[in-house]
Amino acid sequence: MRRLAIHRGSSGSHINVTPLIDVVMCLIVFYLIVGRLASTNGQTVAPPATGVGDVSAMPRLVVNVARAETGGVAISLSGSSLSLESLGETLRLRLGDPVSGEVAIRADRRLSWGEVRPVVEACRAAGLTSVKLVTERTEGVPR
Amino acid sequence: MLHEQVYGPNMTPMVDIVMVILIFFMASAAIMGPEWLLRTALPSPKASGSAAPGEVTPVATSVQAVDGRVRVVLRVGETRRDTTLDTVAADVASLVKEFGPDRLAVAIDADAETPYDAVVRVHEAFVKAGVTRIGLPAPR
């Protein structure tokens, strides 16, 4: 004789939250990945590789500097493309006066210093006293 | 044939959540893991040379690309050391041994044609040697 499992309880029905948790977790992962990719605005940036660096949290403001398809330099700040001329003013607005916050520069290793330097100078002009250069981690120890 | 009823916790939700957490950490490690940060000072032109004499030893470092090769010049006072990207780490280590990492204030300057990668590698050599005062001076 087959024994049937009988749910015992007040109503005999419960809401199964497992699929809800699964879907919510997948959505969180999805938006984390999309948000991260969107911060580079689709640009392919390969930072210089170093064997040493700081492992502190990435600053909120990240300036991406990459080679544009047209041959020039493509600059984006936290996912939004902008010109070099407007970078200084945008940084000034975002950092406030007096300056609070940090900026990281993720520049492509194939660029020349002459192409990256204007971005550094825009940060200096915005009132920053330091920046963080993003590098790709190779073997080494954090500082 | 009788089926035995299985009692005990339902493992399915736990397996589901553990799998999702595993994917999450794999994605985090792949996307956020492989980047480091090198802190660089941006001294204002007015602040140049504001340190008291004897407090720090300025090291003027210039990086130049000449005929496709990168040349690095380290100047400490009147002393000048010509080096390359391959040997800069040893020269920097020698400087640090002579003066101490806390007494060196490094300014890295480079020509426009110099690869950005070379500038970062010189910066890396100083960081590896334990120097913390590293900056990019304002253009003259």
Residue A80: pLDDT above 60? yes
**CB-CB under 8 Å, B3 with A120:** no
Mutation to test the B interface, candidates A106, A132, A133, A137, most B Cβ within 10 Å:
A133
Beta strand B57-66 pairing with B104-110: parallel
**CB-CB under 8 Å, B2 with A2:** yes
The amino acid sitting at B102 is D
* 3-class secondary structure, A93: helix
pLDDT given at position B101? 87
Nearest to B35 by CA among A36, A32, A81: A36
Mean pLDDT for chain B overall: 83
Span A39-52, pLDDT tens digits: 555 567 889 998 88
Residue A133: pLDDT above 60? yes
Residue B116: pLDDT above 90? yes
| Interchain CB contacts (distance < 8 Å): A and B | 152
pLDDT given at position B103? 87
Residue A53 β-bridge partners: A142
Model ipTM value:
0.74
Residue B76 β-bridge partners: B79
Whole-number Cα distances in Å, A127 to A96, A104, B96: 9, 14, 31
The amino acid sitting at A32 is L
- How distant is the alpha carbon of residue A99 from its chain centre? 21
Confidence of residue A2 (pLDDT cuts 50, 70, 90): very low
Listed in sequence order, the residues at least 6 apart from B3 whose beta carbon sits closer than 8 Å to its beta carbon are: A2, A3
% of chain A exceeding 70 in pLDDT: 81
Nearest to B40 by CA among B139, B140, B132: B132
Residue A3: pLDDT above 50? no
Nearest to B134 by CA among B50, B40, B47, B38: B40
- Lowest-pLDDT choice from A36-40, B55-59, B131-135: A36-40
> By the CB < 8 Å criterion, does A46 face chain B?
no
A139: closest chain B residue by CA: B34
Across B112-117, average pLDDT: 93
> By the CB < 8 Å criterion, does A2 face chain B?
yes
Residues in A touching B12 (Cβ below 8 Å): 18
Confidence of residue A115 (pLDDT cuts 50, 70, 90): very high
Span B32-42, pLDDT tens digits: 567 889 999 99
**CB-CB under 8 Å, B116 with A48:** yes
Q: What is the 3-state secondary structure (H, E, C) of chain B?
A: CCCCCCCCCCCHHHHHHHHHHHHHHHHHHHHHCCEEEEEEECCCHHHCCCCCECCEEEEEEEEEEECCEEEEEEEECCEEEEEECCCHHHHHHHHHHHHCHHHEEEEEEECCCCEHHHHHHHHHHHHHCCCCEEECCCCC
Confidence of residue B16 (pLDDT cuts 50, 70, 90): confident
**CB-CB under 8 Å, B42 with A131:** yes
